[in-house]
A = this chain, B = another copy of it.
Amino acid sequence: MNLNNIRIVLHQPSHPGNIGAVARAMWTMNLSHLYLVQPKSFPDPIATKRATGAEALLEHAVVVDTLDEALAECGLVIGSSAQTRHLPWPILSPPECAQKAVQQASKQQVALVFGPERTGLSNEELQRCHYQVAIPANPAYSSLNLAMAVQVICYEVYGEFLSHHATEGVMRELASDAQLQSFYGHLDKLLDAVHFRRPSSSPDLIPKLKRIFNRAELDEDEINLLRGIFKKICNDPSI
């Protein structure tokens, strides 16, 4: 049980005030690792002002250029979005999200990802996540402020953490996100090598396959096993 293994990732936040409010929201719930992917303005005195008491989180925030960098060593990645998608991603409620995050954090790094204020996560960004978490909201107005959404999710995480001290299940250590992405690259090559993909193929082909393997929660041995099969199929040890 280790909240230190849980990071909040803000993808392209526009408003420094929100970054500060997120830091405060996190720290009230005992979370302290903030990653910022291409923040529009950071550091910024407005962020510092809104952090009121949680300035240390901003000082230690990790600023990166790509979502990949923010997620690289994470075994579990959950993206927050209210929207349902053309290709539905496995959706967790906030308590389910908290449960998975806290459980997995006993083993390895976990990322909770929040998209830009106006648009939220794109389909492609959401598909980089293993799960989607959706905060139930008013169908007529579901637009939570970014920092509010972070507060709700962190509140659930901290509640789960508090309630969890007794029950530690047997946890598998999952493959890191980098290993998983490399596996997907290999799968992609396989489809080409066996000429499965055609011009007429659905653009959803790869996302559909990712959805399957995300649900499977692969560990490193399993990825090696599957890649061994892929290699044999392609008959090309270099792939």
Which residue numbers of A lie inside 8 Å of B, CB to CB? 21, 24-25, 27-30, 52-54, 88, 91, 94, 135-138, 140-145, 147-148, 151-152, 155, 158-159, 162, 170, 191, 194-196, 205, 208-209, 212-213, 215-218, 222, 225-226, 228-229, 232-233
Contact = CB atoms under 8 A, between A and B. Distances in A.
The secondary-structure label for the interface of chain A is helix
Contact of A137 (B21, B158, B194, B232): B158
Contact of A158 (B136, B217, B222, B226): B136
B29 A138 contact: yes
B145 A21 contact: yes
A228 B226 CA distance: 17
19 contacts: A21-B145, A21-B148, A24-B144, A28-B137, A28-B143, A29-B137, A30-B138, A53-B143, A91-B170, A136-B155, A148-B148, A152-B152, A194-B232, A194-B233, A205-B225, A208-B222, A208-B225, A215-B217, A233-B233
A212 B208 contact: no
A140 B88 CA distance: 39
Nearest to A17: B17
Question: How many subunits of this chain does the assembly comprise?
Answer: 2
B28 A138 contact: yes
A158 B228 CA distance: 44
Q: Which of A88, A152, A191 has the most CB of B within 10 A?
A: A152
Contacts of A54: 141
Given A135-B155, A212-B218, A141 B21 contact: no
Given A21-B148, A136-B162, 5 more contacts: A27-B141, A28-B148, A88-B170, A91-B170, A152-B155
A155 B120 CA distance: 20
A162 B135 CA distance: 12
Contacts of A136: 155, 158-159, 162
Contact of A229 (B27, B53, B196): B196
Which residue, of A24, A151, A196, has the highest number of chain B Cβ atoms within 10 A?
Answer: A151
Contact of A196 (B135, B137, B194, B232): B232
